[in-house]
Amino acid sequence: MAIRLRGASIGYGDVPILRDADLTVQRGEAVAVLGSNGSGKTTLVRGVLGLASVLSGVVEVLGHPVGHRGERGRVGYVPQRHTVSGAVPATVREVVGVGRLARLGLFGRPRAADRAAVIDAVAAVGLTDRLKDPVAALSGGQQRRVLVARALAAEPDLLIMDEPMAGVDTASQETLARVLAAVSAGGTTLVVVTHEIGALSGVLTRAVVADHGSIAYDGPLAGALPFSTDGHHHRDDQPMPGGPGPGLDQVHLARSPHRAAGGR
């Protein structure tokens, strides 16, 4: 099992953001995490990564309680919004090489296989010709691809990405979608927080929709698509129309024109 949440509340300090969540992701699945701004998507994945506090319940990753040493180097993460800092003059190869370090352990020295993994990861995101360039010289979309390559270089069993397509041009989105399809076909579990399912619709098969700190939908991606593709996000302070409840009809992430009338 890649991820298991049982009655998990995850938050910051002692304030829960995601409350009493149950979720199981099997190895090899490719899951989209959807939901409006502030619904708790990032908090969910940060809890799985050990970056937000598990306040109650159980969070297990790759068969271990979150934070266990056994996960080290086996979980890759592409964080939200970040591009690579321009403050440190590092080349594409160096930044991606850092991703491989997680795999080596503290005192491991890179071997030929490690160097090859770095080269392969850069090739996968289509940046071989930029290998020796400073990342600061790349476009925002290319820098996102560098961060994806950094995560891929560790050959993770579980790859978690937060808005990998944000600020990425169409050509780079298609490249990324092909990369993720190949990674998924290789057996890596994918969890992708996204507002833009577009290019990833052929890759991700299951959707988990967060809403006001709960998981409001968990099922086939197609069932959740009307709620994610129109770019409409409700404000946090709006009341729940139709009252509380887990039904998909009550997931008011979007008053979407695409939404099938009466569809459930």
Ligand X SMILES: Nc1ncnc2c1ncn2[C@@H]1O[C@H](COP(=O)(O)OP(=O)(O)OP(=O)(O)O)[C@@H](O)[C@H]1O
Q: Which of residues 2-31 bind ligand X (CB under 6 A)?
A: 12, 17
Window of 32-40, 126-134, 176-184, 199-207 that interacts with ligand X by CB under 6 A: 32-40
Q: Does 89 bind ligand X (CB under 6 A)?
A: no
Whichever of 39 and 143 has its CB closer to ligand X, that residue is 39
Shortest Cβ distance from residue 166 to ligand X (Å)? 9
Minimal CA–CA distance to 200: which of 208, 209, 210, 190? 190
**Interface with ligand X includes 226 (CB under 6 A)?**
no
Distance CA 121, CA 171 (A): 18
The single residue among 2, 21, 34, 42 that binds ligand X, judged by CB under 6 A, is: 42
For residue 38, state whether it binds ligand X (rule: CB under 6 A). Answer: yes
17/21 with CB nearer ligand X? 17
Least separation in angstroms between residue 41's CB and ligand X is 4
Q: How far is the CB of 187 from ligand X (least distance, A)?
A: 27
For ligand X, the closer CB: 177 or 209 = 209
Please give the structure tokens belonging to residue 58.
């159980």
Mark the segment that binds ligand X (CB under 6 A) among 38-46, 87-95, 116-124, 218-226. Answer: 38-46
Which residue in 51, 48, 67, 59 sits closest to 12, CA to CA? 51
* Distance set, CA 222 to CA 29, 59, 62, 218, 258 (Å): 15, 27, 27, 11, 12
> Does residue 34 touch ligand X according to CB under 6 A?
no
Q: Which residues pair with 219 in a beta bridge?
A: 207
Examine residue 82 and tell whether it contacts ligand X (CB under 6 A): no
What does the alpha-carbon distance between residue 91 and residue 131 come to, in Å, rounded to a whole number? 7
The span from the CA of 186 to the CA of 97, in Å, is 21
Estimate the crossing angle of helix 170-185 against helix 140-152, to 10 degrees. 10
Q: Is residue 41 a contact point for ligand X (CB under 6 A)? A: yes
The DSSP result for 170-186, as a single string, is: HHHHHHHHHHHHHHHHT
How many residues sit in the footprint of ligand X (CB under 6 A)?
11
Binding to ligand X by residue 47, rule CB under 6 A? no
Per CB under 6 A, residues contacting ligand X are: 12, 17, 35, 37-43, 210
